[in-house]
Structure 1
Amino acid sequence: MPTYQYSEKQNIDQDQLITTIEKKLVVILQKLELNGFLATFFIEISLVKLLEKQLKNIVYAGHEVAFFNADSDTETIEKTKIFAEQFLQKPIRGLRQKYHQIDYPEIKKMNFSYVSNIEESSINFLWRKLSSKTEIHYKNDLTIIPESQSPYSQLPFNDFVFQVTPMRYYESMITESLKSSEYVMIYTNIWQYMTAEELPYKLPFYKRLNIGTNTEKRLEKLLQYIDESEIAVSRMKDYLF
């Protein structure tokens, strides 16, 4: 779970946080299984060793485990990658991070295959037009996956847009985007499924909108729409390789 510079810690210990994450993972896995969809789970590096059982459940269900880097250095990432690959008996191919947080050559040295970028923003605002290219491209022998952006609304398909955009409008964004692009990368974050009391950090009011059961309902509606629209869904590694 990423931290935020502007957030104040709440009185929640590590055991409480892990228990909450476990419960939310069960809900998400059940909804994906109900619709027969496979997804990629980007696990924050500091949580990998604390969620060993849950990561095994994710892989057992057919999903992909990749890494999310909040603020880990290359040594920590590499050691955690080796640890995870040993107990999962699966390669960790993907790393999600802020744009150029760790240089691509360093990521390649750690034997990652792709980077899922979170674009840097100079203002802390959830709706913005992306400044970098939005197509999948290649650099330093890595597959670079930028955030998708709707040509219809100019909104990126990031977690906050999923959280606050009216579902019918969000569905229209997907439909219009797929008319001009072969794919749309959709992201959501585990903390969005928590209540304000369960969060380890106090968030600004706009980041608390629709969190908890509201986000669960939004995910369920999204998956139903994708199923009814017969849109293909895949894990990152399946689509890329």
Structure 2
Amino acid sequence: MINHVLIIFLILHFFTDYYLQTDKLALDKYYQVKKFIFHVCIYFFIMVIPFIYYGFNLWYLLIGVIAGISHFLIDGVKLFIIKKKPYLFENICLYLIDQYLHIGFIVLGVLLFSSNQTKLLFDVTYNFTEANIIYLRWVLLFVLIFKPANVSFRIAFKKYKPQEVQDNKEDTQEKSNKAGAVIGNCERLLYCICFSLGQYTLLGLIITCKGFARHRDIQEKAGFAEYFLIGTFYSIVYSITSFWLVFHIIS
């Protein structure tokens, strides 16, 4: 009973915090109060959608309220920290703590209101079959392996980016970043499909094809080979972890 409720709220969290938030908004909200309030209001509205969709179920409302209020408080503290120390905006430790706290409060809300003693206005499981839950798991996996993976990689490994890539003109660098993100998205998607089919031998083929496509950059650009390997290993580990969490841990 808990698993599909948790999956729904995790989908909404990642969708709102990543896909409905541009890079510009992610930065501006820490320096402009209006942008911060706008982001929090959008997040709060999205998190109470299950309450409306599933027959005004009080359980969903309480979870959504906990997620919304905790999001406001966590981002508020982060806003205060970044205003004092702007260089921490893309600090990996602060970034991970921020996301772990958001997810932690969502999990806490789901566990808190999943007790058998909790009186519900409607049966929250009436619309769910095993097939529905499988679809939800795949949606959560797709939401996880695209933009959140790209943002996390950029923040965690920016210092390893080859110098000549960093020195490129802004428009060229932006195109390069977008191309790299698309390649990473396709790579992680293929990995997850292989995991679901049990075709682990195909992972080597995917890595080989990726290496062949970028062989010129690997040969000609100093430092690119190391950055390429970091990205490849990151995608493998991220895909394995995401698939394992979605299909084995959340149960």
The TM-score normalised by the length of structure 2 is 0.26
**Which protein shows a greater Rg?**
2
In terms of fraction of residues, the more helix-rich structure is 2
The TM-score normalised by the length of structure 1 is 0.27
In terms of fraction of residues, the more strand-rich structure is 1
